[in-house]
Amino acid sequence: MKHFKEFLIEKVIWFCGVTSIVIVVLIFIFLLKEGLSLFKHVNLVDFLFGRKWYPISDPPHFGIFPLVLGSLTVTLGATVIAVPLGIASAIYIAEIASPRIKEILKSGIEMIAAIPSVVIGFIGMTTLVPFIKHYLNLPTGLTAFSGALMLAFMAMPTIVSIAEDAITAVPHKYKEAALALGATRWQAIWRVVLRAASSGIVAAIMLGIGRVIGETMAVMMVTGNAAHIPESLFEPVRTMTATIAAEMGETVQHSEHYFALFAIGIVLFIITFIINLIADLSIHRHRE
Amino acid sequence: MKPNPYRTERIAFTLLLISTVVIILPVFFIVFIIIQKGFSAISWEFLTSIPKMGMREGGIFPAIVGTLYLVLGTLIFALPLGVFSAIYLTEYAQDNLLTRLIKLAIINLAGVPSVVYGLFGLGIFVIFLKLGASILAGSLTLGVMVLPIIITTSKEALDSVPKSFREVSLSLGVSKWQTIRYSVLPHALPGILTGIILAISRAAGETAPILFTVAAFYLPKLPHSVFDQAMALPYHLYVISTQVPNVEVKIRYGTALVLMMIVLSLNLAAIILRSQFRKRKKW
């Protein structure tokens, strides 16, 4: 009897262990199941490179090129802002701050991750957007730039904490050797520690980008959601995530528009999958 | 002239400090402005009455209740699954292809955009399993989303229990499951609890996964069963700040304040619990 109970529990545990794989597979199957139906009506090239996203006009156009560019513009902007700041802060926290300050700063950074994205979007809408409109003298403050700023902020916890882990994991003797040779602390950090931590830092950047590209609510609330091809950072854009979130509520189930939104989901899933894979590979290289 | 390395160091360290301050300051700004503008909206009536006049007046009670139900449903689903999964990875898994695949799957799940979870929930729970837009479908979707959080924090907690604890127990002739149950889990409990709190805070704050799986735009009554739609705080904030014109600023900020307070206090509890856990650890 006892053996049977033990056997049963172990089976349950094994089953729970493999659920993660099952779920990933299920996500992919369901995205494909709904998304691929679109390609009965629209060919893949028109979908990926079509310049018009007019899902409810007659005839509808399902070209996601402007949406992909929208996501890329915002992501690129956010990365350019977030990476130098985030890594600088990770260095400060890992190498310079005293243990007490370090704990406070780390908690502060974690707090950013805790604030719901809809709250960040709301604050962006009510403070940042009017500010940008006024000071940059633009027709509207709902721009890719506003989105990039919000997203840079939201990517910080990911970038800082993972880069900080990577820097902390560099063996002390590396730095001590550099200091013993007469290097200043900064020289030791810049030329020795950062190099040794570089693959971990790459992982931090990749995961930060993954976070940014998948962010939905904040970006939907501050970027203006105009589905056209952006010519500068200071125009409204619409991202892939915002398109799904804004339009899914209004579609008819199993209509072309509905399938198209799932097809965008597939594109997003594949992009984030690749980004996470690269991050994971560089973390493993780092450990070796 | 060669640059003075000590001056370079001073400049570099100052820049690093400035970067850190630039990142941290907006947190205080956000918390400050929400408290300043939202505090006057908070009253017993605001917290316990239903929205009126197309959400321009009244309170946010159904949204608070909806969020509570969702969090509870999320936990019922994700907690056992996540903890058992972590037990499998730390106690049973061998170093083989399956384990590597599981780990890869968890990493990937943690990176899936929240709106894609929403699509998944819509496709599988709402339509395929015919649950409709309901608390059940929303809870399952959020449960899938928080699963990697619970697994990774629980795994970390289990990993931190020394091997000798298990060896002593096993050497006394106790079975493997009993060893896990009585000599490993109790020591990992605070760490697991930290993960649970973080998962609750994530589930309470997310909007995109519930957009198409549960959230009701305006539903001035409480849900009766798990098959009902419900309002939820994050979606309510989105609705009254972008979809409904002329809502008083006070009500918007008040809703944001309630949501932020719930989420931040949960996170603070997690941070405190974790630091206590680390301090108390004697091995």
Structure tokens at B52: 């009126």
**Lowest-confidence segment of A65-69, A145-149, B48-52, B106-110 by average pLDDT:** B48-52
Please state, in angstroms and rounded to a whole number, the distance separating the CA atoms of residues A267 and B245.
Answer: 34
pLDDT at A288 over 80: no
Nearest to A272 among B112, B177, B238 (CB): B112
Please state, in angstroms and rounded to a whole number, the distance separating the CA atoms of residues A196 and A54.
Answer: 49
Interface contact B241, partner A, CB < 8 A: yes
Report chain B's mean pLDDT, rounded to a whole number. Answer: 88
Give per-residue pLDDT as tens, A119-172. Answer: 999 999 999 999 988 888 888 888 889 999 999 999 999 999 999 999 998 998
Residue ranges of E strands in chain B: 51-52, 57-58
Contact across the interface for A30 and B120, Cβ inside 8 Å:
yes
State residue B105's pLDDT score: 92
Q: What average pLDDT does this structure show over B153-178?
A: 89
pLDDT at A286 over 60: no
Please state, in angstroms and rounded to a whole number, the distance separating the CA atoms of residues B224 and B237.
Answer: 23
| Structure confidence at residue B144 as a pLDDT band (50, 70, 90) | very high
Contact across the interface for A103 and B275, Cβ inside 8 Å:
yes
**Is B135 in contact with B227 (CB distance < 8 Å)?**
yes
pLDDT at A54 over 90: no
State residue A245's pLDDT score: 92
The bridge status of strand A53-54 relative to strand A61-62 is antiparallel
Please state, in angstroms and rounded to a whole number, the distance separating the CA atoms of residues B134 and B139.
Answer: 8
State residue B281's pLDDT score: 67
Encode chain A in three state secondary structure. Answer: CHHHHHHHHHHHHHHHHHHHHHHHHHHHHHHHHHHHHHHHCCCHHHHHHCCCEECCCCCCEECCHHHHHHHHHHHHHHHHHHHHHHHHHHHHHHHHCCHHHHHHHHHHHHHHHHCCHHHHHHHHHHHHHHHHHHHCCCCCCCCHHHHHHHHHHHHHHHHHHHHHHHHHCCCHHHHHHHHHCCCCHHHHHHHHHHHHCHHHHHHHHHHHHHHHHHCCHHHHHHCECCCCCCCCCCCCECCHHHHHHHHHHHCCCCCHHHHHHHHHHHHHHHHHHHHHHHHHHHHHHHHC
Contact across the interface for A248 and B123, Cβ inside 8 Å:
no
Q: What average pLDDT does this structure show over A242-255?
A: 88
Residue of A nearest to B90 (CA): A17
Please state, in angstroms and rounded to a whole number, the distance separating the CA atoms of residues A241 and A219.
Answer: 8
What percentage of chain B has pLDDT greater than the value 90? 45
**Is B208 in contact with B114 (CB distance < 8 Å)?**
yes
pLDDT at A57 over 60: yes
pLDDT at A287 over 70: no
**Lowest-confidence segment of A35-44, A226-235, B14-23 by average pLDDT:** A226-235
pLDDT at B142 over 70: yes
CA-CA-CA-CA torsion for B201, B207, B208, B214, nearest 10 degrees?
100
Its pTM surpasses 0.95: no
Q: What average pLDDT does this structure show over B150-154?
A: 94
Please state, in angstroms and rounded to a whole number, the distance separating the CA atoms of residues B93 and A19.
Answer: 14
State residue B282's pLDDT score: 61
Q: Nearest-CA neighbor of A122 among B88, B164, B252?
A: B252
**Lowest-confidence segment of A70-74, B86-90, B168-172 by average pLDDT:** B168-172
The DSSP element (H or E) to which B194 belongs, if any, is: helix B185-205
**Is B225 in contact with B137 (CB distance < 8 Å)?**
no
| Residue A227 to chain B, least CA–CA distance (Å) | 18
Contact across the interface for B211 and A88, Cβ inside 8 Å:
no
Neighbours of B282 (CB within 10 A): 4
The ranges assigned to domains in chain B are 69-280
State residue B255's pLDDT score: 92
Give per-residue pLDDT as tens, A175-194. Answer: 899 999 988 888 999 989 99
State residue B238's pLDDT score: 92
Give the CATH number of domain A45-287: 1.10.3720.10
Give the single-character DSSP code of B126: I
CATH second-level architecture of B69-280?
Orthogonal Bundle (1.10)
pLDDT at A79 over 80: yes
Interface contact A272, partner B, CB < 8 A: yes
CA B105 to chain centre: 19
Nearest to A96 among B13, B102, B123 (CB): B13
Residues in chain B within 8 Å Cβ distance of A277 = 104, 108
B115: amino acid identity, one letter: V
Residue of B nearest to A156 (CA): B23
Give per-residue pLDDT as tens, B239-260. Answer: 988 888 888 888 899 999 999 9
Please state, in angstroms and rounded to a whole number, the distance separating the CA atoms of residues B15 and A186.
Answer: 12
Give per-residue pLDDT as tens, B212-225. Answer: 898 877 777 788 88
State residue B49's pLDDT score: 81
The ranges assigned to domains in chain A are 45-287
pLDDT at B147 over 90: yes
| Structure confidence at residue A77 as a pLDDT band (50, 70, 90) | very high
Residue B271 DSSP SS3: helix
Range from A3-12, A78-87, A126-135, B36-45 that averages highest in pLDDT: A78-87
Nearest to B115 among A12, A245, A273 (CB): A245
State residue B249's pLDDT score: 85
State residue A156's pLDDT score: 93
Contact across the interface for B16 and A33, Cβ inside 8 Å:
no
Q: What average pLDDT does this structure show over A41-50?
A: 86
Please state, in angstroms and rounded to a whole number, the distance separating the CA atoms of residues B74 and A257.
Answer: 30
Contact across the interface for B119 and A262, Cβ inside 8 Å:
yes
| Structure confidence at residue B275 as a pLDDT band (50, 70, 90) | confident
State residue A141's pLDDT score: 81
| Residue B123 to chain A, least CA–CA distance (Å) | 6
Q: What average pLDDT does this structure show over B79-88?
A: 94
pLDDT at A68 over 60: yes
Give the helix, strand, coil percentages of chain B, each rounded to 5: 75, 0, 20
State residue B283's pLDDT score: 59
Q: What average pLDDT does this structure show over B162-167?
A: 89
Enter the ipTM: 0.90
pLDDT at B279 over 70: yes
Contacts 24+ apart (CB under 8 A), A59-62: A60/A256, A60/A257, A62/A38, A62/A256, A62/A257, A62/A260, A62/A263
